[in-house]
Structure 1
C-alpha cells in the first residue's frame, strides 16, 4: 500500500525498532473471511485529516477517542475481530503508543481511547488503524493527523456595536450590528454568542452503524460565527430577543479545538418602540362597535416604515389575534365591539419593513355588566318584611340590549328566567318561607345571547 513519504518514514522506523506485528501480511486471513482495512476514521467524533499540513485540532485532556470500522470479507462464520490503533508524535515517529479494541463487530464503529498521558498540549500526532483477528491483521489505514489543543484562548473577545451604544439607552427599530474580535489571540477560529449567559454546546449525533455525523458548527450563524481569519473578527446583525429594555449579548471565543475563552458581555438598553392605541370615543360602550386607531412610534417609523400591526384581544367572549395592514404613513384603523363581561384589553405590536417587531402597547377598559337590583321591602344588606310577607325585586341593566334576567334565591332554588320590558327592566315578586339571611343571584342576557356577569343581592328577613 502506498502511504506517502511521511508514512514510509514511519514504517521504516517501525521496522528498525522491530515493532512490526507478526502475521500482518496482506491480505490477512481470519476464520470466516479476509480482514480488510478499517474505514470511517474519526478522532474526537470529528473526521480525521489525512493531510499532515492541515491536521484536525482536538482537545485531549482525558485522552482522545479514535474510531474506525473493521471489515471482514465473506464473513459467514461470525469472526471475532478487533481494531488496533497506533499513534506517534509527528516530530518523533519512533515513539509509538498502541491501543487495541479487543472485541469489535465488523461493519460497526469500534472506538478506543489514546491515553492523555501520551498526548502533549500543542503537539501534532499521527495515528492509524488496522483490523486484527488473532495473529492475522489487515493493512494499516492511511495516517490521520491531529494536533492536541487543551488550552482555551488566553483572552476574552472584544465586542463593539456601530448603532447601539453600550451602557446607555438607544432608540430601537433596526437589528444590532456587532463586531466581535479575537482581542489579539491568534488561535481564535470563531465565536459563540447568546442573549443568555448559557451557551449551546457543540455535539455530534451518531448515525447508523455507530458512525458519527459531525457538522460544521459555523454552518449557521444562529449561535456561532467563524472569524474572517484565524485570530480575526466577525460581524453580526442580530434582532434582540425583546423589543425594549436592558439587553446583554454574551460572547466567547473558540479556538480550532472548540475550547472556549472567558466570557465577554455587551450591555445596552433599548427605548420602547410600542405603537399608540386610541379609540374614537373616550370610553367605548359595552358591545358597541368602536373604531380604534394605531399609530407608529415616530423614531421607529423614521428608521423603517411600519407595514402592519398584530392585535390581540384578551378578556372578551373569545380571545383572538389578527393582523392589520398599515397605510403608507404607518397608521391603521379597525372596528371592534368589546364584550368582556368585566372588561377587555388590547395588546398591539407593530412590524416594520425591516422585520423589527415592537414591544406591546396596552389598551384596556373595565365594564360592570351586572344588573342593578332593588327592593322597597327587602333592601340590600338590610332587614325587613317577614315570613310570608311578599316583596318586589326590580332588575335594571347597566349595558344596552338586555332582553331577559335569570335569577335564583339562596343558590339552591331552580333558576327562573323572566323577559325584560321595553325599558329593559323586569320585576318579580317573592315571598320568603323562612327568616334570616338570604341571597338573590341575578344575571342578564342580551339580544345576541350573551350571558352577562351575575350579581349577588344579600338581605335579611325579619
Structure 2
C-alpha cells in the first residue's frame, strides 16, 4: 500500500535564443544575403540539466516578416532537441524577393515554459550578381603576341576592376578560383602572379559583392616569353664517359651568369662573356640526361629552366652493303651477305646479336672494336637483327634493333588441273605442276618441293631450268576444307637455295548428292516413320558409299552401274538428326563429305 506524499519538480524556462545567423552570416547592421531561401539559425540553451551531459529537450519557434509589413508574420516551430543545440530553418522559395528587407526572431520552449523572443535580426535580400570584372596588366598584356612578355618565375601585377559599387573582393586563379583579394576603394584590387611556364597562360577572375554574390568569370589570357637560355651540344655523338662541351646563349638582356646542373645534381655557376654566352664541359655517366640551365641578369632575375634533354648513344652502329635499313629490298633470299658492327663505347671486346627470334650469337671484336658477321636469309621479306656490345669489364650497351628485307627470287608454279587460289581437280584426279626459275636466277639444277602433310622431295631441273611433277590426291582433306599448300624452292649449281614459293589450291570435293522424299531439314516426318535416301556419286569410278547417321558407326552400301545407291532409315527420336555420306572407288579414292540435315517432328 502506497504511502501518501507530495512530489515537487522544479523547472526553469529555456534561455532566450542567441547567436542568430542568416545564410551563414552573423546578424549585424546592414546585413545582406544573396539568396531568397536563406537558412536561419539560432542557438538554444536551457538551465535545467536532467542529464549530466544535456539540458532539457526544447523546441524553437522562428518568426519572420517583411520589415515594412510586420502583420505578414510567419512562424515555424521545430521538433524537440536536447540543449544546447543550434536549430535551423530554411525559408521556403517564393516568399522573399530581391531588394526586400526582413526581420526574424526566435524563442524556445520546453514542456512547461517558454523563453522570451530574441532580439530581432534584420537582413536585406540582394540576389543581383555583379558584372564580370575587367583585368589589366602592363607586365603581361593580353595581346598573346609572340614572343610574349615576362617569363617563368617573373612576377607581374594584375589589376581587377568591377563596375559594381558593392564589390568587396575578387576570387582568382589559373586552374581554379583558389585565392581571394580584397577590393580597395573604387572596387579594384591588384595582385602579383608569377607564371610557372612559358607559352600561353591565363587567370580566371570573379568579383564578389557584399551579399556574397559572385559575378561571371573573366578569363584573362596572355603569352609568357620563353626566357630559358639556348643550349647547344658541341659533341652530340660523344661516347659515354667522354667530355662534351655545351654552350649557353641568353634569351634575356643583361645576362651575367648561368646556374646549371646535370640530372638534378649540384648546382654550379658560370660567368657569361661580353655577349652573354658561356661554355661548360660535362662528362655524362648515364645514358639519359637532362641539363638544367637558367640565366641570371645583373638585377638578379632568373630565367626559366632550359631543361635540355640529351641521350648518350651506347648502342653499336650496324651497317650492311647487302641489305639497307631503309625499307627497300636488298640482296635476294638464299644468298650470303654480311653485317658490320662498330662500337659507340670504349673498350668493346665483343658483340651479341640475334636474327629474328633465333638464338643469341657472340662475335669477338677486333682491335678497332669492330666485327663482321655473315648471314644467309632463307626467306624473303621482313627480317630483323638486334645487336648490343660488351666491354672487357662486362658493361653492356643499349641494344639496337633494325629491319631489313631480302628480295624474293622464289620460283613460279603453274598447274592446269589445280589453278592457284581456286578449286580444281578432285580426289584421284592427277595434276601436273610446272616449276620455273625467277628471272634473276640462273643455273638452277633442281627444285625442292613439298605438298602439305607429305615429305619433302627433290626434282631435277631441265636444261632450261624448269621442272614438272605430277601429284594425285587420294582423298579430300576435310581438315583444311580441301585446301592444299605446295612449297617450292630452287637450287642452283652454286649451292644457293632460293626463298620459297607458296602455291595454294583447293581440291574439288566431288561429294555425292543426297536426296530423300521423306526426310529433310524442314521436318514433316515423325518418330518411327521409315523413308529412303538416294546417294548419287560425283566421283568418277565410285563403287560404294560410306555413310553414318548422327556421327555414329559408319556403314557402306554398293553403288549400282549408274553410281547411285538407296538406303532406308527410321527415326527413333524427334528433333535434329544428321547424315554424312562419302563416295569411294575400288582404288580407295575417297570423295569429300556430303552433309544432310534432318528434322523429325515431335509427336
TM class by shorter chain equals: 0.5 to 0.7
- One of 134, 154, 176 as aligned partner of 1:158: 134
Alignment partner, residue 86 of structure 1 = 63
SS of the aligned residue for 2:60 comes to strand
Structure 1 residues 419 and 166, CA gap change in structure 2 (3 angstroms):
same
Does the 8 A contact of 1:38 with 1:129 survive in 2?
Answer: yes
How far apart are residue 325 of structure 1 and its match? Answer: 4.1
Alignment partner, residue 232 of structure 2 = 278
**Structure with more helix by fraction:** 1
Structure 1 residues 103 and 399, CA gap change in structure 2 (3 angstroms):
same
Does the 8 A contact of 1:37 with 1:141 survive in 2?
Answer: yes
Does the 8 A contact of 1:40 with 1:69 survive in 2?
Answer: yes
SS of the aligned residue for 2:45 comes to strand
Task: Show the 5 A alignment for 1:265-414.
Answer: 265-279=219-233, 281-287=234-240, 288-299=242-253, 301=254, 308-309=259-260, 320-322=263-265, 324-327=267-270, 329=272, 333=280, 335-337=282-284, 340=287, 358=304, 360=306, 362=308, 364=310, 367=313, 369-372=315-318, 381-383=330-332, 395-401=340-346, 402-413=348-359
Alignment partner, residue 171 of structure 1 = 149
Does the 8 A contact of 1:239 with 1:356 survive in 2?
Answer: no
Question: How far apart in 2 are the matches of 1:436 and 1:166?
Answer: 64
Alignment partner, residue 127 of structure 1 = 104
How far apart are residue 291 of structure 1 and its match? Answer: 3.1
How far apart are residue 256 of structure 1 and its match? Answer: 0.8
Higher relative contact order (CA 8 A, sep 6+): 1
Question: How far apart in 2 are the matches of 1:423 and 1:328?
Answer: 40
Question: How far apart in 2 are the matches of 1:354 and 1:137?
Answer: 72
Structure 1 residues 354 and 448, CA gap change in structure 2 (3 angstroms):
farther
Task: Show the 5 A alignment for 1:88-103.
Answer: 88-91=65-68, 93=70, 95-103=72-80
How far apart are residue 178 of structure 1 and its match? Answer: 1.9
Question: How far apart in 2 are the matches of 1:108 and 1:227?
Answer: 36
How far apart are residue 271 of structure 1 and its match? Answer: 3.1
Does the 8 A contact of 2:386 with 2:401 survive in 1?
Answer: yes
How far apart are residue 151 of structure 1 and its match? Answer: 1.0
- Structure of larger gyration radius: 2
Structure 1 unaligned blocks of 5 or more: 1-27, 201-221, 312-319
CA offset digits 1:220-274 (Å, max 9, x no partner): xx52211114x432111111353234x4433332111121234445444333222
Is 1:453–2:433 an aligned residue pair?
no
Does the 8 A contact of 1:64 with 1:116 survive in 2?
Answer: no
Task: Show the 5 A alignment for 1:176-215.
Answer: 176-183=156-163, 185-195=164-174, 200=177
Structure 2 unaligned blocks of 5 or more: 1-9, 408-495, 498-603
Does the 8 A contact of 2:133 with 2:161 survive in 1?
Answer: yes
Question: How far apart in 1 are the matches of 2:67 and 2:98?
Answer: 13
Is 1:226–2:169 an aligned residue pair?
no
Question: How far apart in 2 are the matches of 1:351 and 1:91?
Answer: 67
Does the 8 A contact of 2:202 with 2:221 survive in 1?
Answer: yes
Structure 1 residues 90 and 407, CA gap change in structure 2 (3 angstroms):
same
Structure 1 residues 408 and 182, CA gap change in structure 2 (3 angstroms):
closer
How far apart are residue 285 of structure 1 and its match? Answer: 1.0
CA offset digits 1:293-317 (Å, max 9, x no partner): 4344223x56xx7774576xxxxxx
Alignment partner, residue 257 of structure 1 = 211
- One of 219, 244, 253 as aligned partner of 2:199: 244
> When the two structures are superposed, what TM-score results if normalisation uses the length of structure 1?
0.66
Question: How far apart in 1 are the matches of 2:332 and 2:120?
Answer: 101
Does the 8 A contact of 1:324 with 1:332 survive in 2?
Answer: no
In angstroms, what is the RMSD of aligned CA positions? 4.2
Question: How far apart in 1 are the matches of 2:258 and 2:116?
Answer: 67
CA offset digits 1:76-118 (Å, max 9, x no partner): 3996533222223445555433222224453443321123444
Is 1:444–2:389 an aligned residue pair?
yes
How far apart are residue 186 of structure 1 and its match? Answer: 1.4
Structure 1 residues 255 and 375, CA gap change in structure 2 (3 angstroms):
closer
Alignment partner, residue 56 of structure 1 = 31
Question: How far apart in 2 are the matches of 1:259 and 1:60?
Answer: 9
Structure 1 residues 83 and 161, CA gap change in structure 2 (3 angstroms):
same
SS of the aligned residue for 1:102 comes to coil
